Structure 1
Amino acid sequence: MNRTQAFKYTVYICSAAFLAACNVPKIKEKIASTNTLPDSYVGHADSTNIALTNWNDYFADPFLRRLIDSALNNNQELNIMLQEIKMSANEVMARKGEYLPFVGAKAGAGVEKRSEYTTLGAAERQVDIRDGKENPDPMPDLTASLFANWEIDIWNKLHNAAQSAQLRYLSSIEGKNFMVTNLVGEIANLYYELLSLDQQLLLLNQTLKLQSDALDLVKLQKTATRVTELAVKKFEAEVYMTEGRQYEIAQQILETENKLNYLVGQYPQHIARSTDGLDFKYLPTIDEGLPAQLLGNRPDIREAELHMAASKLDVKVAKAKFYPALGISASFGYQAFNPAYLIKTPQSLIYSLTGDLIAPLINKKAIQADYLNANAQQIQSVYVYEQKLLNAYIEVANQLSKFNNMRNLNTIKGKQVGALTESVQISYDLFNSAHADYMEVLMTQRDAIEAKFELIESQRSQFIAVVDLYRSLGGGWR
């Protein structure tokens, strides 16, 4: 076999090997469907959307605004997320650096003693042709050089990896925006809960005053033998029950304040707030817009969309690992055994240029596993995206229904409280005229108190529904 034939066979073998290396398993990617969103939420289409409103304009209560502003600056979890974003940006920089040439400098010094009875050892014992002196023993080795390595991105593997990192960096920003949305909503909800607890405590204080007056009246009636000691004890027990509830509400107020303190990033202290309770002049208006606007307003949906795009690129990166990789390495410098000769040119000059074409041939299971995993993650990211869409629409629909139902419930509860308040006075009048017993008075009084508590709760639910609707639509992060 001559050299020409040997070369041809070598080319054939290498070509067959490269073709075998390029054998990529078949997969099936999934594409997200966004045309399943309904055209509207409640049957009417209006593009006006409260999600486009800045939180500072949406919430009119100045105390609430100050809390949100402080939290956006001092919340530890949000600051941790900001560091995550910085790390994502650094990852982008690292991926971009991989498809650019790497150039470095190298300097080294060493010494080696070889046996005189070897080829290299005997050669080192020769006389230096420059000065007629024998070469030093042991032989020093001094090197100073520049070197470069570069993988030619012929399949866009490195470029796609950099683009994937860029998309994940953008998704981390959307993750931060989603955290801001939730943080704004959580602070507003806790603030309104605090105001409702203040109203409940005020109601208990007023009720305790009325119950104490009623207890004094019953004691006078016992002295006049109109009622027994049992009536006195029943009224006294009601007073104690109301006093106990005061402590329960006080504890809830303290815990709610500390939840706000934690979100704001400060140690426990009094939370400044409105003394008017749940004032409906501060209740924001609602405009839900169109479901299609969720795609641009909800940070979690945009985050999932970016993850989906990054996952598609990850599949391409994993696929490119089946193909041959072309690498180029080069070096240029000086090498000598004597410092005086180190920069002699061209005698001490060294350089090299190497190109490598590497492809996997046998046992590609690790590469195949990475490729199949990347494809599975791409399909998974589509399902996550579709899940986010469905969840967002359902959240908005729930909060719209809740707001309307709580508004109607407030009207009914207001009428109930009015009727029971009148019945309390009527029961007192009947009791004083001996036309009703003390149990009727106590039960009517208890029903009135519970109805007032329920009215406060339904009012709080209406405020929270407005906040949750704002959050569900994607408001708060702007």
Structure 2
Amino acid sequence: MTMKNKRFQLIALGVLGLMLQACGTPELIIKKEDTRLPTAFKLGDSEKTNTASIKWKDFFDDPNLLSLLDVAVVNNKEINIMMQRISVAQNEIQARRGEYLPFVNIGADAGGDRVGEFTRKGAVEAGLPLANGKPFPTYFGDFRFGLFSTWEIDVWKKLRNAKQVAVLEYMASKEGKNFLVTNLVAEVAHSYYELLSLDNQLSNLEQNISIQKNGLEMVKQLMFYGRTTALAVRRYEAEVAKNKSKLYEINQNITVVENRINFLLGRTSQPIQRASSGFMDLKSKVLKAGIPSQLLQNRPDIRQAELELAAAALNINVARANFYPSFSINAGIGYEAFALKYLVNTPASLAANLAGGLVAPLVNKNAIQAQYKNANARQIQAAYEYEQSIIKAYTEVANQISNIDNLDKNYQLKTSQVEALTRSIEVANQLFKSARVDYLDVLLAQRDTLDAKKDLIETKKKQIDAMVDLYKSLGGGWQ
């Protein structure tokens, strides 16, 4: 073996050793997500039937609400913004896919240069005549055109992993859109039922004002006959005025809620069609919660967090590949000549080139080390976020199951309270006419009945809200 070959081998071994040293990656800890959940929401309940699978068009019965939801899921501005984000994520897949395929370009360029006579190229040109015996020109042209290709060989799957990350992020963005639809459906339903409850509050207040106006006329008659004083009349007048002022408050709240619904529907203010008369007769649906582990499949936010975790884990592999050597191939084929008249001569002007490259980071790897550590930190963060979304979902369902049960009992007692107070108004009026009670007793009976009915309407709204919230918490509302 010649000295030259030995020297070449030593250099090659040295370069290989440096590359192997460059490939060393810092030791990092990958967090494994904890997805453990209780076996049931309530002790002894192992029913697997789950209401989350019901589509919102089948879950809600009110045709006016269904009409609003149809508009909302199509026209809501936030949904449409999210759709564009999904489109961006989809385009990112195409971009990442193209990165690990060869790039082929077509191009042409022209130029000229003058070399120094005492350079290697200049000396050759000075002593080499052209075919026709003339010397090389002082300014030597350079014209070429053809196909040029570059290709980074994806040995470590860096580019393919980056493409798969884009796929996972695209899928996560679609789940994010589903979760947005779930929240939108619930918010429109909440606002619609709030509107119905306000209509009933308005009707209740108007009925009470009518009763108090009758009472006012009665005390005026009694004062005329000297059976009561002007104080009773003034107190009744004040009570009527106070309740009339509340009508404007409720009307303002109705306007606000109507505008909120229109905003959710992505349109300007217009009347909301609704049927409020049967609000107090609405029965909450009996929802099937299934088992906690079903939340992992049914909740879009959990599936989104899971996909983001998978993308974060794969990004670690992408960042790790930056420590390894990168392999590239450059190739080109085309025509090249020092004068345009010779440019397309075949095969004399035909030129081709092929080159391979091998590059690895050696000194000052701070940037890629920081990128690698950041990828690891994001994976740990994504794992915690995934766990948090699971715990949050379980807590929301457990709270709403308990809430529905307690509201049921609360509503029954408030119904009994309203019935008793309604009867008390009639009794108080009879006793007042016979001068057996003071006018204040009548006013208090009317005031207590008004407040009790208001609470009853509010409790009914809470019952309906709890039903909607449980449906949303289970993962329903986006289908």
Partners of 2:130 and 2:22 lie apart in 1 by 52
Deviation digits for residues 82-139 of structure 1, max 9, x if unmatched?
A: 0000000111111111111111111112344556676656766788734455655544
Partner SS for 2:72: helix
The corresponding residue for 2:143 is 142
Partners of 1:286 and 1:468 lie apart in 2 by 11
Kept in 1: contact 2:100–2:159 (CA 8 A): yes
Kept in 2: contact 1:61–1:282 (CA 8 A): no
Tell me whether 197-206 or 11-20 shows the greater mean CA deviation.
Answer: 11-20
The corresponding residue for 2:257 is 256
The corresponding residue for 1:436 is 437
The corresponding residue for 1:411 is 412
Tell me whether 347-356 or 134-143 shows the greater mean CA deviation.
Answer: 134-143
The corresponding residue for 1:397 is 398
The corresponding residue for 1:102 is 103
Kept in 2: contact 1:60–1:282 (CA 8 A): no
Deviation digits for residues 136-180 of structure 1, max 9, x if unmatched?
A: 554433210211111111111111111111111100000000001
Partners of 1:212 and 1:125 lie apart in 2 by 120
In 2 relative to 1, CA 117–328 (structure 1 residues): closer, same or farther, beyond 3 Å? Answer: closer
The percentage of aligned residue pairs carrying the same residue is: 47
The corresponding residue for 2:267 is 266
Q: Which amino acid aligns with 2:255?
A: L
Matches within 5 A, 1:379-398: 379-398=380-399
TM-score (norm 1): 0.96
Kept in 2: contact 1:311–1:381 (CA 8 A): yes
Confirm whether residue 27 of structure 1 aligns to residue 28 of structure 2: yes
Kept in 1: contact 2:400–2:470 (CA 8 A): yes
Question: What is the number of equivalent residue pairs in this alignment?
Answer: 477
How far apart are residue 17 of structure 1 and its match?
A: 0.3
Kept in 2: contact 1:198–1:277 (CA 8 A): no
TM-score (norm 2): 0.96
In 2 relative to 1, CA 341–128 (structure 1 residues): closer, same or farther, beyond 3 Å? Answer: farther
In 2 relative to 1, CA 26–182 (structure 1 residues): closer, same or farther, beyond 3 Å? Answer: same
The corresponding residue for 2:373 is 372
How far apart are residue 454 of structure 1 and its match?
A: 0.2
Partner SS for 1:106: strand
Partners of 1:331 and 1:414 lie apart in 2 by 86
Kept in 2: contact 1:126–1:135 (CA 8 A): no
Kept in 2: contact 1:199–1:277 (CA 8 A): no
Partners of 2:81 and 2:70 lie apart in 1 by 17
In 2 relative to 1, CA 114–17 (structure 1 residues): closer, same or farther, beyond 3 Å? Answer: closer
Partners of 1:131 and 1:410 lie apart in 2 by 110
Q: Which amino acid aligns with 1:431?
A: F
Kept in 2: contact 1:324–1:357 (CA 8 A): yes
Partners of 2:108 and 2:471 lie apart in 1 by 63
Partners of 1:282 and 1:239 lie apart in 2 by 33
Matches within 5 A, 1:452-467: 452-467=453-468
Partner SS for 1:321: helix
How far apart are residue 23 of structure 1 and its match?
A: 1.2
How far apart are residue 422 of structure 1 and its match?
A: 0.8
CA RMSD, 1 decimal = 1.8
Partners of 1:452 and 1:181 lie apart in 2 by 32
In 2 relative to 1, CA 128–445 (structure 1 residues): closer, same or farther, beyond 3 Å? Answer: farther
In 2 relative to 1, CA 255–337 (structure 1 residues): closer, same or farther, beyond 3 Å? Answer: same
The corresponding residue for 1:328 is 329
The corresponding residue for 1:284 is 285
The corresponding residue for 2:42 is 42
Kept in 2: contact 1:59–1:284 (CA 8 A): no
Partners of 1:91 and 1:285 lie apart in 2 by 44
Confirm whether residue 151 of structure 1 aligns to residue 177 of structure 2: no
Partners of 2:330 and 2:242 lie apart in 1 by 85
Q: Which runs of 5+ in 2 are unaligned?
A: none
Partners of 1:115 and 1:249 lie apart in 2 by 93
The corresponding residue for 1:358 is 359
Q: Which amino acid aligns with 1:41?
A: F
Partner SS for 2:144: strand
